[in-house]
Amino acid sequence: MTEGLIAPHGGELIINMAAEAERAELQEHAKSLSQIVIGSRQLADLEMLAIGAYSPLGGFMTREDYLGVVNDMHLSNGLPWSVPITLSVTSAQAEQIKVGQQVALVDTDGVVQAVMTVEEKYGYDKALEARKVYRTEDEAHPGVKVVYQQGEVLLGGPVRVLALQPQVFAEHRHTPSQARALFAERGWKRVVGFQTRNPVHRAHEYIQKCALETVDGLLLHPLVGDTKGDDIPADVRMQCYEVLLANYYPANRVILGVLPAAMRYAGPREAIFHALMRKNYGCSHFIVGRDHAGVGNYYGTYDAHYIFAEFDAAKLGITPMFFDHTFFCRTCDAMASAKTCPHSSDQHVTLSGTKVRQMLQAGEIPPREFSRPEVAQVLIAAMRNPRA
């Protein structure tokens, strides 16, 4: 553990990436193993397991951990954990797999990514998982849709990861160990993490800078794994973050990293999940804004704030920093929130996502009170030159 920084969840980083000698042995061994083809979410989960971002997990969840997480948001050892990390197979596949055997997890090209020891195989209630984790059984919810499309049997057991997917955004792809080393180099002990899957607009900038007033540094940590099809592509978002940091943030107090996890859109539960991952990266604090990890109208505006009260703060171990909806007030002539501004909403500069997209598509830069012009220019250029 890097001295002075918060301990990882469970006390130590659990690294499940095979070392070079072990990797060579497992590559050879994998040739004789049954193969399970995994998709992009499980590939992302493998990377998070490999680098220790999912500490204290050593693999995909066994039944006791799975049920503990689904039903009361705790692992069997009592540690808080809010989102299941699972590997599913069809009933037909499960019949061919014996408990205790090893299997090779391969990508769609047949490249071995990991070797898993199957400790358990078990059925599960998809509707229960949907209700508990996502608070809905509606298949229109992107997270619920994934659960319903999964196989009928879950495999649980430890993994040894042999390979990682192509490392896009390599210069910002810090593992938890590397992030902790960067914080230590800068002398940071109190670090606030910020989760985002969108470009940072003025409201986000405001709450980040409010948080920065009370800590040593900020980890701006956009998620770059799977997101919804209508979310802004990760490479465009990264350009937005880079121009924003270059022009409006002190370079010695911010680190831009990437989180290679997949979005679940689990709202309040995902706020806890995101906080615990950032704890593993070395963050002592975590920003929770309005409708964190939300989608549609499935969650209340501040449900992601309220859920933290359901946990023992000492076991959670990371301090949430709650922020209200923020905006620019013309009368205050400043960024503000309902907590700090007494003026009526007609003085507040707020734009819907639809309105912003319409402006950008027309080549119009939104008001400076809403978005930095440098960020808007990146988005306009992306919309004018969409990828095929």
* Segment 338-383, tens digit of pLDDT: 999 999 999 999 877 778 878 888 999 999 999 999 999 999 998 8
Nearest to 221 by CA among 192, 258, 269, 191: 258
> Is 228 in contact with 265 (CB distance < 8 Å)?
yes
Helix (H) or strand (E) holding 286: strand 285-288
What is the mean pLDDT of the segment spanning 69-86?
A: 98
Where are the chain's structural domains? 20-161, 172-384
List beta partners, residue 288: 322
Which residue type is seen at 76? S
Q: H-type helices in 233-372, by residue range?
A: 234-248, 268-281, 303-306, 313-316, 353-361
The answer to whether 186 is a known catalytic residue is no
Signed CA dihedral, 47, 50, 53, 58: sign only? positive
- Only one residue has tokens 């409708």, namely 291
- Tokens representing 14? 């659990």
What is the mean pLDDT of the segment spanning 311-337?
A: 96
Q: 197 falls in which pLDDT band (50, 70, 90)?
A: confident
Residues in the chain: 388
- Tokens representing 202? 């003025």
In the three-class reduction of DSSP (H, G, I as helix; E, B as strand; rest coil), residue 388 is classed as coil
**Which CATH code for domain 172-384?**
3.40.50.620
pTM of the model: 0.95
**What's residue 388's pLDDT?**
46
**Which CATH code for domain 20-161?**
3.10.400.10
Kind of pairing between the strands at 319-322 and 285-288 = parallel
What is the mean pLDDT of the segment spanning 230-250?
A: 91
What is the mean pLDDT of the segment spanning 14-20?
A: 96
Distance CA 286, CA 82 (A): 16
Exactly one of 198, 253, 290, 357 is catalytic; which is it? 198
* Mean pLDDT across the chain: 94
Least confident span in 73-77, 117-121, 152-156, 162-166: 162-166
Exactly one of 41, 197, 237, 278 is catalytic; which is it? 197
The answer to whether 330 is a known catalytic residue is no
> CA-CA distances (angstroms) from residue 246 to 94, 112, 240, 255, 277?
51, 40, 10, 12, 26
Residue 21: other Cβ atoms inside 10 A: 8
pLDDT at residue 278 tops 60 = yes
pLDDT at residue 277 tops 90 = yes
